[in-house]
């Protein structure tokens, strides 16, 4: 009997030992799972903070500041120098998350680099005429002509006006339709419109922005040009870095923009500067004359 009792005690001790080991193993697993969860949360928070730090205002286009809502000076854009006039143009599909509300095909890869172009912007306030700088910003002009001939700018409005430091009127966003009420809300999509493709900056060497300059807005990088552009109505060279492709000059109608600027804006964009013009500027059509 003594031998049997001893075996039972040993078995009981062995069962107890195994139970303790299993319990400790479960506790270690739970602790490890908790640490993984905390690490994941910390990693997610870090990624989110980096996104907030390094994304230039989301997909908002910086027109001389940020072609869209942003019109305060944005990071300097740099691009590989291209011999102008360019004989080949490269356009890449827009990779951002902003929905493309007005789709259009890519411009032709082979531009008519020897042509001269004039653009006439017919607005509700009168006509504004541009001479396009095809010999200096060939691929930008190629894109602008393509969009104009596709009716891309028709029935849109110029959505952003800057009246301090940088003096520009920004246009070309398909989200800002002729009937859109510009509220300057941080949740509005106005200012983020894109034709569905991007292309590189041009004509930046020694770029200046006197009154009458027409330049591309971008999202803070040299390859984020799309459809948004801005008209400089008062010299803004000191307020802008050479980061926005000058692709045209106003030959007539600049006074229309200057009068709009005198009336100021009805609301102010909190994050990008400037605001929605009090006087609506609606683009009815853009016609191109080629010579």
pLDDT digits (tens, 9 = 90+) for 97-133: 888 999 899 999 999 999 999 999 999 999 999 999 9
Helix or strand (DSSP H, E) at 92: strand 92-93
Q: Which of 24-38, 65-79, 91-105, 243-257 is predicted most confidently?
A: 243-257
One domain for residues 11 and 141: no
One domain for residues 97 and 28: no
pLDDT confidence of 184, banded at 50, 70, 90? very high
The reply to whether 70 falls in a domain is no
Tell me how far apart the alpha carbons of residues 256 and 126 are, in angstroms, rounded to a whole number. 7
One domain for residues 35 and 177: no
Tell me how far apart the alpha carbons of residues 125 and 176 are, in angstroms, rounded to a whole number. 17
One domain for residues 27 and 154: no
Place of tokens 């999509």: 189
CB 260 within 8 A of CB 281: yes
Tokens found for residue 188? 């509005």
pTM of this prediction?
Answer: 0.76
| Parent domain of 24 | 1-54
Distances (CA, A) of 231 to 8, 47, 90, 260, 288: 94, 37, 25, 12, 17
The reply to whether 272 falls in a domain is yes
The reply to whether 68 falls in a domain is no
The reply to whether 62 falls in a domain is no
The b/e string for 244-270 (b: 16+ C-beta within 10 A; e otherwise) is: bbbbbbbeebbebbeebbeeebbeebe
The pLDDT value given to residue 61: 65
Tokens found for residue 10? 């040993």
Q: How many domains does the chain have?
A: 2
The pLDDT value given to residue 85: 93
The pLDDT tens digits for 6-29 are: 666 666 666 666 666 666 555 554
The reply to whether 61 falls in a domain is no
């Amino acid at each position: 009997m003594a031998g049997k009792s001893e075996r039972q005690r040993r078995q009981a001790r062995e069962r107890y030992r195994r139970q303790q080991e299993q319990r400790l193993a479960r506790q270690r697993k739970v602790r490890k799972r908790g640490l993984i969860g905390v690490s994941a949360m910390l990693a997610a928070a870090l990624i989110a903070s980096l996104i907030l730090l390094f994304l230039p205002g989301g997909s908002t286009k910086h027109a001389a500041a940020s072609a869209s809502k942003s019109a305060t000076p944005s990071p300097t854009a740099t691009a590989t120098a291209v011999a102008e006039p360019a004989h080949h143009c490269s356009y890449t599909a827009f990779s951002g998350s902003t929905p493309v509300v007005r789709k259009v095909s890519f411009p032709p890869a082979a531009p008519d680099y020897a042509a001269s172009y004039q653009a006439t912007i017919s607005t509700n306030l009168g006509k504004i005429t541009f001479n396009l700088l095809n010999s200096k910003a060939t691929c930008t002009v190629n894109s602008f002509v393509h969009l104009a001939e596709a009716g891309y700018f028709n029935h849109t409005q110029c959505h952003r006006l800057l009246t301090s430091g940088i003096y520009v009127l920004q246009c070309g966003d398909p989200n800002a339709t002729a009937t859109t009420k510009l509220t300057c809300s941080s949740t509005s999509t106005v200012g983020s419109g894109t034709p569905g493709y991007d292309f590189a900056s041009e004509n930046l060497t020694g770029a200046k922005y006197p009154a009458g300059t027409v330049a591309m807005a971008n999202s803070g990088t040299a390859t984020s040009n799309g459809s948004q552009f801005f008209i400089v109505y008062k010299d803004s060279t000191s307020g802008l870095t050479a980061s926005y492709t000058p692709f045209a000059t106003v030959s007539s109608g600049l006074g229309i923009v200057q009068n709009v600027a005198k009336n100021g804006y009805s609301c102010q964009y909190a994050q990008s500067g400037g605001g929605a013009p009090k006087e609506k500027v609606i683009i009815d059509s853009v016609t191109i004359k080629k010579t």
